[in-house]
Amino acid sequence: MTDATPPLASGPAAGRVLAELRRMQATDLPTHGGRTLAYVYDSGLADADALGREALAMFASSNGLDPTAFPSLQRMENDLVALAGALLDAPDGFVGAATSGGTESILLAVLAARRGAPHLTAPSMVLPASAHAAFLKAASYLGVRPVVVDVDPLTLRADPAAMAEAVDDSTVLVVASAPSYAHGVVDPVAEVAALAAARGIRCHVDACIGGWVLPHLDHLPPWTFSVEGVTSISVDLHKYAYTPKGVSLLLHRDADLRRGHLFASAAWPGYTMLNTTAQSTKSGGPLAAAWAVTRHIGTDGYARLARQARRATLELAAGVDAIDGLHVLVAPDSTLLALTTDDTCDVFTLADGMLARGWYTQPQMAFGAVPPTLHLTLSAATAPSVPDFLDALGVTTAAARAAGPVAVDPGLGALLVSLDPTALDDAAFTGLLAAAGLSGEGGAIELPDRMAPVNALLDACPPAAREALLLGVLDRLSRPTPRPSP
Ligand SMILES: Cc1ncc(COP(=O)(O)O)c(C=O)c1O
């Protein structure tokens, strides 16, 4: 008999658990290698990635809740805000905060604007229809009425004259994108900011996806803090700064503008809660990783990566225009493309075909007068693969043209258009999901290999019906894993 202490852990050994994680990860899209053209960003710099992962692990358990307990995290945050300020022409006196992502930065920009006008009982914000849906989320969370203004039908950029007309005494914020996610174009920021400044209203520039790229490209009119009237800018580090997920920055022209998203509470028996952002306990991992990666890549490195991604974007756009049946929706201002088809085929079939050939492209539904498109986010690491991508796209498009556009079952399409999915009971909803090709036995969500019929059907739905249907899908996907049977 030995009296050695038995190990405290009672589950499988670490190696086995890691193997389980790897098996699960194998079902995901690849994050590196340049073949996933949405959601992920790949610099192609293996040492920067390794550094980011090491810094992430080093600070994973550190807590940004209290800057006096973890001063290193406050220092890193201040360094990153200073770095972004230099890139975005921030004036003396600017301030910022590190958030968990673009959506949190936008939520806080809207919150600060709303709180900056406490006399208004029914505040609103004016935004172009191309603005990221995070603004609509902020509107819905924070009780700020969104006044959505059509973009110019040709350029797909914000229409400042129409936005000026939409501004009224309840407006607390005016929004511009640099660039828009869906179409990759930069709004006329100077005009939008001027119309806001003329009425003493804040103007937020959403540079979540472009803020680390556009400053290194020289073909654009000014859109940063160099434009008088721009009061805040959001820029995500976990996008084109190529840092691990979990960090965005929100910069304000001055400290007064930030006040509305600072929070303190001493009205409870614990520590006085003091936050600049929505999170309270906040892992130091993503921040440390962002600090390390940005420091390692450096300004010249980012300039090279931005030019590389931009060259790849232009090369890809030129190649697309040479493919029959396919064209680029609008000339790209940055490193994002939206492709569309003529009526010989459809983007949903293209997305399936490209995925079957190992390329992820993101279908976007029709919106107003804009047809369905295929969204591409190009990373620096996509550059070497552009010729292969274009070969695959050429073959996929030819096959899609031979097959013709995917047809929507007219009966089902008409049903969805007329239906109020929010009014369906669970059994009826289960039937609808099965009819839409989204569920299998017992009503569990099962996505088909070919998503084109489902996407074409969703595309035919009014947006509200699409939202309700997909929320139903999400609700059913987000359920506890069934216990294994004994
Ligand atoms: C322009 C723009 N704004 C905001 C966001 C939201 O960022 P996140 O997904 O990090 O919340 C995105 C994401 O792609 C974006 O492209």
Q: How many CB atoms lie within 10 A of CB 74?
A: 16
Cross-strand partners of 148: 127
pLDDT digits (tens, 9 = 90+) for 387-444: 999 999 999 999 999 999 999 888 888 887 787 767 888 888 888 888 888 887 777 8
Radius of gyration of the chain measured on its C-alpha atoms: 24
What CATH code is carried by the domain that includes residue 321?
3.90.1150.10
pLDDT digits (tens, 9 = 90+) for 192-234: 999 999 999 999 999 999 999 999 998 899 999 999 999 999 9
Same-domain status, 284 and 338: no
**Would you say 234 and 248 are in contact if contact means Cβ atoms under 8 Å apart?**
yes
Q: Which two tokens stand for residue 137?
A: 């989320």
How far is it, in rounded angstroms, from Cα 454 to Cα 392?
23
Same-domain status, 363 and 445: no
Q: Residue 132: CB within 6 Å of ligand 1?
A: yes
Using the predicted structure, report yes or no on whether residue 293 has a pLDDT greater than 80: yes
Query: Does 432 fall in a domain?
Result: yes
Q: Which two tokens stand for residue 227?
A: 């434009």
How far apart are the CA of 369 and the centre of ligand 1, in A? Answer: 23
Measured N-to-C along each axis, helices 46-58 and 285-321 cross at an angle, to the nearest 10 degrees, of 150
How far apart are the CA of 222 and the centre of ligand 1, in A? Answer: 21
How far is it, in rounded angstroms, from Cα 435 to Cα 416?
11
pLDDT digits (tens, 9 = 90+) for 130-161: 999 999 999 999 999 999 999 999 999 999 99
Same-domain status, 138 and 254: yes
**Would you say 166 and 131 are in contact if contact means Cβ atoms under 8 Å apart?**
no
pLDDT digits (tens, 9 = 90+) for 349-364: 999 999 999 999 999 9
Strands 326-328, 336-341: pairing kind: antiparallel
How far apart are the CA of 40 and the centre of ligand 1, in A? Answer: 12
How far apart are the CA of 209 and the centre of ligand 1, in A? Answer: 6
Q: Which two tokens stand for residue 401?
A: 């043209």
What kind and span of H or E run contains 196? helix 189-198
Q: Residue 130: CB within 6 Å of ligand 1?
A: no
Residue by residue, DSSP assigns 383-441 as GGGHHHHHHHHHHHHHHHHHH-SPPPPHHHHHHHHH--GGG--HHHHHHHHHHTT-B-G
Same-domain status, 121 and 202: yes
Q: Residue 236: CB within 6 Å of ligand 1?
A: yes
Same-domain status, 396 and 449: no
Q: Residue 389: CB within 6 Å of ligand 1?
A: no
Cross-strand partners of 97: 250
DSSP 91: P
Same-domain status, 183 and 325: no
Q: Residue 77: CB within 6 Å of ligand 1?
A: no
Which carries the bigger pLDDT value, residue 419 or residue 274? 274
On the CB side of 116, CA atoms within 13 Å amount to 24
Q: Residue 134: CB within 6 Å of ligand 1?
A: yes
What local confidence, expressed as pLDDT, does residue 3 receive?
Answer: 61
Using the predicted structure, report yes or no on whether residue 5 has a pLDDT greater than 80: no
Using the predicted structure, report yes or no on whether residue 116 has a pLDDT greater than 90: yes
Q: How confident is the model at residue 2 (pLDDT cuts 50, 70, 90)?
A: low
Query: Does 438 fall in a domain?
Result: yes
Q: Which two tokens stand for residue 382?
A: 């996509």
Q: Residue 286: CB within 6 Å of ligand 1?
A: no
How far apart are the CA of 212 and the centre of ligand 1, in A? Answer: 13
Domain count of the chain? 3
Query: Does 304 fall in a domain?
Result: no
Which stretches of 59-184 are DSSP H helices? 71-87, 102-115, 134-142, 160-166
- Percent of the chain exceeding pLDDT 70 equals 99
Across 28-33, average pLDDT: 97
Cross-strand partners of 375: 338, 362
How far is it, in rounded angstroms, from Cα 254 to Cα 233?
12
Same-domain status, 189 and 90: yes
**Would you say 148 and 132 are in contact if contact means Cβ atoms under 8 Å apart?**
no
Query: Does 485 fall in a domain?
Result: no
What local confidence, expressed as pLDDT, does residue 308 receive?
Answer: 98
pLDDT digits (tens, 9 = 90+) for 327-339: 999 999 999 999 9
Same-domain status, 243 and 132: yes
Across 446-461, average pLDDT: 90
Query: Does 22 fall in a domain?
Result: no
Query: Does 459 fall in a domain?
Result: yes
Q: Residue 102: CB within 6 Å of ligand 1?
A: yes
Q: Which residue's CA is minimally distant from atom 6 of ligand 1?
A: 102
What local confidence, expressed as pLDDT, does residue 423 receive?
Answer: 80
**Would you say 324 and 177 are in contact if contact means Cβ atoms under 8 Å apart?**
no
Q: Which residue's CA is minimally distant from atom 9 of ligand 1?
A: 102
How far apart are the CA of 102 and the centre of ligand 1, in A? Answer: 5
Q: Residue 187: CB within 6 Å of ligand 1?
A: no
How far apart are the CA of 482 and the centre of ligand 1, in A? Answer: 33
> Where would I find the beta strands (DSSP E) of 90-231?
95-99, 124-128, 145-149, 171-177, 202-206
How far is it, in rounded angstroms, from Cα 433 to Cα 93?
54
Same-domain status, 145 and 280: yes
Same-domain status, 124 and 227: yes
Using the predicted structure, report yes or no on whether residue 345 has a pLDDT greater than 70: yes
Task: Evaluate the CA torsion angle 222, 164, 135, 258 in order and state its sign.
Answer: positive
Average pLDDT, the chain: 95
Q: How confident is the model at residue 374 (pLDDT cuts 50, 70, 90)?
A: very high
How far is it, in rounded angstroms, from Cα 278 to Cα 263?
9
Here the contacts of 71-80 (C-beta below 8 Å, separation 24 or greater) are 72/284, 72/288, 73/284, 73/287, 73/288, 76/284, 76/287, 76/288, 76/290, 76/291, 77/287, 79/291, 80/237, 80/247, 80/249, 80/287, 80/290, 80/291, 80/294
Domain of residue 397 covers: 310-345+353-403
How far apart are the CA of 135 and the centre of ligand 1, in A? Answer: 10
How far is it, in rounded angstroms, from Cα 228 to Cα 134?
25
